[in-house]
Structure 1
Amino acid sequence: MLRPPLALFVLSSSLFTAFLHTSALTVPSDEAKLLSSRSDAPSASDFDVLYQGNQAFRAKDPALLQDLANNGQHPPFLFIGCSDSRVSEGTVFDAKPGTFFAERNIANQYSRQDSNIRSILAYGLEELHVKHVVVMGHYGCGGVAASVATPPSLPWDEATAAIQQWIAPIRVTYQTSERKEVVEMRHRNQGNGTVSAPALHDAGFRALVEENVKNTVKRIASDTMVVELLQDSAHPFFIHGWVYDIENGEVKDLDVSVGPRGSTIPAIPFHASAASLVRRH
């Protein structure tokens, strides 16, 4: 079960003692000992990899960082991906700072009711004039897998409810998709009292990952804000749906790109998925 985040305040022992004496907050002595002696408290070694990585990053191209600071960002891509730690856009594409304006959430979702992602899309299109919106899902996505598995038993705590509500649109896709592989997976799971999350190489699971990306592309392209902006010929842009293979690093185009009416979709060097059923708009 997920727990709410715990805010950690790091104080010197003298300041912490003074704080306890002067603050209206009273910490029982046993809890005070716990705060200072927790075995799972962060240590310097926890951050070594981040510090060393940052040092290497700073030394790599300081001129680029200075240029971006002086002249601002002009990213050609707006990336909508999954929060999964294995699929960072900067890492997957070995991209330099200034390449992506990005938003990542569980299972790369888009909803008009989500003001966070909608404002990111609006700013990227209207202010930064990005040329391409890239929606990228990935095989083995935990959010998609959870939408196949039996939901946790009720009652739900707040954290469980938040997760289950977020993946609800993917459950709808799983339950209604007519794609052959998803239908077959659904039939296999019918009648089972408890359905487990599918295995990485399950064909239905992989197909559902792709269908989820396609649905995100559709939701973005059908947003009235986006429809209006697509008609602005002064700043044309395209929306693409891709999928990433976490096993080998391959990126595949799902052949569902959308652009201004009458425009030619730019050539995309990533090979289209053979299983993709939706043709390019």
Structure 2
Amino acid sequence: MASFQLPVKTLLRPVLAESNVSAFAVSRHVHHQRRSCHHHHSHSCHPLIKQNNNKRKNQTNHFSTTTPQTTDKLQSGLEFNKSHWAPSYAEKFASLGNGQQPQILWIGCSDSRCPETTILGLQPGDVFVHRNIANIIHEGDLSSSCVIDFAVGALKVSQIVICGHTSCGGVNAALGDSKLGVLDTWLLPLRKLRAQNLSTLEKLDSKNAIVKLAELNVLDGIAKIKEKSVVLEAMEQRGLKVSGLIYDVATGLLRTVDGGEESQDEIKARLTAFKTS
């Protein structure tokens, strides 16, 4: 049997159906379609008409405006925890159930982009953590003081890390002059650092000024931690190290922040003034 070929108007049917043609034009087109089908075997005509109809349906579905449902990250996280994460650390948790022995105390920003264990590629039980807005160390802050005292005195961590980061909202706020309520009190150490380094910061664009103040904040935190007697004792007796880092949220890379080597006079003055027994 000779192959079946659709008339030109039949091939144009999907276009006509989608256009704003008059009802009369559409009627003529359908009438012609029926006459064409009458001259061919019915079993050849109908499947092709059905195929064209399916194409039109597919075109309509392709442009569907249905809004996809938003993923509930907490719910999906709970399911992942149960089905994948917890089982993958089954042997690890068997030992963690009896206690912890972290090597690192990490003092970082509360920013959601700075997950310390993930950044370092470490596992549960490896890092003891304290986080707050802009990773600020206040001399009289009971929360950070308790964390440091427990991590150094009881857990015997071998490293303390203070980590700031780029694009820090707290640092940016301290560089501005807007009233922020209770946050103003928390940001006072950053504002003092801003005042002390005003000439340097004003020479930088906003992005680099944030990075610079974040670095100064890390160094200031290191100096304050080294004024705690429990830290000084651990540094003397077992070589506890205190380090500073900056995390780049745009690249995922860490880099060290070094304030330079202290002189013997500076070390002696700090030990004399802050070490107690």
Q: TM-score range by the shorter chain?
A: 0.5 to 0.7
Contact residue 79 and residue 136 of structure 1 kept, 8 A: yes
Give the distance between the partners of 1:250 and 1:137, measured in 2 at CA.
12
Confirm or deny: 8 A CA contact 1:135 1:213 kept in the other structure: yes
Residue 172 of structure 1: which of 177, 180, 192 is its match? 192
Secondary structure at 1:107 match in 2:
helix
The question of 1:57 aligning with 2:76 is answered: no
TM-score by length of 2: 0.64
Letter in 2 for 1:250: L
Distance 1:205 1:46, change over 3 A: closer
Letter in structure 2 aligned against 1:103:
H
Tell me, what secondary structure is at the counterpart of 1:243? strand
Map of 1:107 onto structure 2? 134
Q: Secondary structure at the match of 1:222?
A: coil
Compared with structure 1, are the counterparts of its residues 44 and 252 closer, same or farther at alpha carbon in structure 2 (3 Å cutoff)?
A: closer
| Pair 1:120 & 2:120 matched | no
| Cα distance in 2 between the residues matched to 1:258 and 1:119 | 28
1:207 aligned residue (212, 215, 225): 212
Contact 2:162 2:244 in 1 (8 A): yes
**Counterpart secondary structure, 1:101:** strand
Of the three residues 84, 89, 106, the one matched with 2:116 is 89
**1:132 maps to which of 159, 171, 189:** 159
Change (3 A) 1:184 1:150: same
**Equivalent in the alignment of 2:95:** 67
> Quick one: distance in 1 between partners of 2:211 and 2:188?
18
Bigger-Rg structure (1/2): 2
Question: Is 1:236 aligned to residue 239 of structure 2?
Answer: yes
Note if contact 1:239-1:257 (Cα within 8 Å) is conserved in structure 2: no
Q: Deviations over 1:111-154 (max 9, x none)?
A: 221111101100110111100000000000100000011122xx
Aligned AA (1:113): G
Judged with a 3 Å threshold, the aligned counterparts in structure 2 of structure 1 residues 46 and 76 are, in CA distance, closer, same or farther, namely: closer
Structure 1, residues 180-232: CA drift from partner, whole Å, max 9, x if none? Answer: 3x1414xx8xxxxxxxxx4xxx222211111111111111112344234433x
**Residue in structure 2 matched with residue 278 of structure 1 by the alignment:** none
Q: Which has the higher helix share?
A: 2
* CA–CA distance in structure 2, aligned partners of residues 51 and 241 of structure 1: 34
Number of the residue aligned with 2:54: none
Structure 1 runs of 4+ aligned residues shifted over 4 Å read: none
Give, in angstroms, the shift of residue 48 of structure 1.
2.1
The structure-2 alpha-carbon separation of the partners of 1:46 and 1:77, relative to structure 1 and needing over 3 Å to count, comes to closer
AA matched with 2:116: E
User: 1:247 — aligned with what?
Assistant: 250
Q: What secondary structure, in the 3-state scheme, does the structure 1 residue paired with 2:135 have?
A: coil
Q: Residue 215 of structure 1 aligns to which amino acid in structure 2?
A: D
Tell me the alpha carbon deviations over residues 151-187 of structure 1, each in whole angstroms, 9 at most, x when there is no partner: 22xxxxxxx422111011101111211673x1414xx
Check the 8 A contact 1:221/1:258 in 2, yes or no: no
CA gap 1:98/1:161 in 2 versus in 1, 3 angstroms:
same
Q: TM-score, normalised to structure 1's length?
A: 0.63
Distance 1:254 1:243, change over 3 A: same
* Aligned pair partner of 1:184 in 189, 200, 203: 203
Query: How many residues are paired up?
Result: 193
